[in-house]
Structure 1
Amino acid sequence: MVFTGIVEEIGKVGSLDKEETHLLLSIFAKQVLQDLHIGDSIAVNGVCLTVCSFDDQSFVVGISPETLRRTNLEQLKEASPVNLERALSAQGRFGGHIVQGHVDGVGTIRSMYPEGDSLWFWVDTTREIAAFVVEKGYIAVDGTSLTVCATQDCSFQFMLVAYTQQHVILPQKQVGDQVNLEVDILGKYVKQFIKQD
């Protein structure tokens, strides 16, 4: 499955039910329910999850322990807002960058500040993730395709324009909150290729 990092809508968590081996998460939505089928993939805050069931108001996905360890999904509560994107269809337009929905880990928001109608963020992350983050490169933050504006040690900066602020959950976050991070897959392939030489 491939996503673009262009969030389709902001959904709302309905319930979180802990099962023996996984977590069942129900999410209220509208747009992503159109033409939905059991087994379809939906990125929830950038995490590729499989639809187990749905009705005309919500859908349910299962979350494995490994996914909970690598992402911020365990921090969700009832009514938490979440970014939603369906997998790219064959006839769909590709508006962001290649996003797999395979989150590499989390980052922590260090600062948020406005400049005109733009909103700037600095995010701290691990050295392993930071190694793949480059200025003017792509990164998916909670499933949103963004351009890296600057890097510094194990931190990076990005900016949201006014339109994006109205269509993703990032402006609702606070300093200290965690965000899901997926680095550009091209960087991973380059590193693997170099290792084999």
Structure 2
Amino acid sequence: MDQNNKSVITCDLDGKVETFSEGAEQLFGYASNDVIGKLRVSDFSDGQVVLGHVVKWLKIAVEKGEWSGDTVFLDKAKKEIPCHIKITPTKDKNGEHIGYCGVTTPLTNKTPEEVRPKINLMTKVFTWMVIMRLPFLTATFVPLFTGAAVANMLGFTVSWGWLGLTILGGSLLHIGTNTA
């Protein structure tokens, strides 16, 4: 893609793509009819970049009228592309904020490593929680602890070793099922 050829993408407040320029087709490798109304702008970024930075960038764009900076995007083949992007909020005829416009230019003189935003530890931990659906582990733990409590109440001996092994097995089953 030519350095001067820009990608212009607009989206609604949920990130669903509304317009996709010819420059965007060239940069990302998608046809516009495969993207508009079907993909979200987050599909062009690594998940950790989305979780760790995009909300802040959009907030700045709304507060100051724009945000611009360097980042890494992913094309259709999931190849990293170092880019400069300018994000501005879009408004309807009444001045209501209805979405965003991103104007992206590839950076041919930089590598993805040079422009990749730093991901902090909390974002990495949160990413693993999301991937493994850790909050849903309570759906595994609650019945096991309830069963152990009821058994203990009824006078049965509850072996902490067996309960621990059962919880471990239930957790591994949950994680394996939800990350497959």
Is TM more than 0.5 here? no
Larger radius of gyration: 2
TM-score by length of 1: 0.23
Report the structure, 1 or 2, having the larger strand content: 1
Report the structure, 1 or 2, having the larger helix content: 2
